[in-house]
Amino acid sequence: MPDLSLTAWLLALAAALFAGLSKSGFGPFGLLSVIFMAEILPARESTGIVLPLLIFADLLAVCAFHEHASWSALRALLPATLAGIVTGWWIMPHIPTEFFGHTLGWIIIVLIFMILIQRARPQLLAFITHHPLLGLFCGWTAGITTMLANAAGPITAFYFLSQRTTKMVMVGTGAWFYFTINIAKLPFSYQLGLLNTKSLLLDALLLPGVFLGFWLGRSLLKKISQNLFEWILIFMAFGAALRMVTKA
């Protein structure tokens, strides 16, 4: 049994719950898993704890939403994302996590403002949102982000929103996307020493929290409109970005 205080256990369970919730369609909630776990453990170690929780949640998502996936969107994102994972693995030992987090936070804020402009005046950003390089940029950035901090949710949320993807296609595509990239991250995380017997034992104890979060999110997904779903993602991504920018 890991030696954690009551407060630490509550934070860990909250992190597990948000990991499950993020895979039911509310991707930016995944950043809360990272933030809560980083309150218990050093930032690098916390990513090793969160990764298996996310993979378990990915399995639940693939089983529940696999038929809604857009294979064209996966083809646009996955190759660049896998390249981004390798990039993130290479730079991880060389840069402060805080520096990367601040930079990423500002990038996400700019992307969110682009989404708001697109919603108000779709014609202004049509060239950008329909350009094939957007998928390469978002995929590569998501790969680096997910390798460094398990925090690609706001980036992929921006891409799906920019393509005006329906909520079910967004969830189904995200399920296959994250399952693939999180499995791909396992050998890199192991090589960096982020996965070990102690971390996996803690993950096993937290799995019920992941299942509960996924069930709650799936129930909520059925009850909200497409427009409300999009605004929830926008506000969550903005809040996550602010947290990254202001974190010391």
Confidence at 173, pLDDT banded by 50, 70, 90: very high
pLDDT of residue 164 exceeding 70? yes
How many residues can be counted in the chain?
248
Q: Does residue 143 contact residue 83 with C-beta atoms inside 8 Å?
A: yes
Lowest mean pLDDT among 17-21, 65-69, 104-108, 172-176: 104-108
The whole-angstrom separation of Cα 99 and Cα 118 is 29
- Kindly give the interhelix angle for 30-38 and 43-65, rounded to the nearest 10 degrees: 150
Q: Is 164 left (phi over 0), alpha (psi -120 to 50) or beta?
A: left
What pLDDT, on the 0 to 100 scale, is given for residue 205? Answer: 93
Task: Report the 10 Å Cβ neighbour count for 79.
Answer: 15
Of the candidate ranges 12-21, 116-125, 175-184, the one whose mean pLDDT is the lowest: 116-125
Backbone angles phi, psi at 41, to 5 degrees: -125, 165
Q: Quick check: 210 and 49 in contact, CB under 8 A?
A: no
> Contact at 8 Å (CB) between 135 and 222?
no
DSSP, collapsed to helix, strand or coil, labels residue 188 as helix
Contact residues for 78 (Cβ-Cβ < 8 A; gap 6+): 139, 177, 180, 181
pLDDT at 65: 93
- Stronger pLDDT, 69 or 161, i.e. the higher one: 69
Beta-carbon contacts of 137 under 8 Å, excluding residues fewer than 6 positions away, are 80
Place of tokens 């019920």: 208
**Residue 78's pLDDT is what?**
93
pLDDT of residue 22: 85
Helix residue ranges per DSSP H, 66-123 = 71-91, 97-120
Return the SS3 of 247: coil
N-to-C CA span, the chain: 31
Q: What would the DSSP string read from start to end of 154-181?
A: HHHHHHHHHTT--HHHHHHHHHHHHHHH
Helix, strand, or coil (residue 127)? helix
Tokens encoding 228: 């409300």
Distance CA 44, CA 90 (A): 14
Q: What is the pLDDT of residue 123?
A: 63
Residue 137 sits at the vertex; the CA angle it makes with 66 and 240, to the nearest 5 degrees, is 70
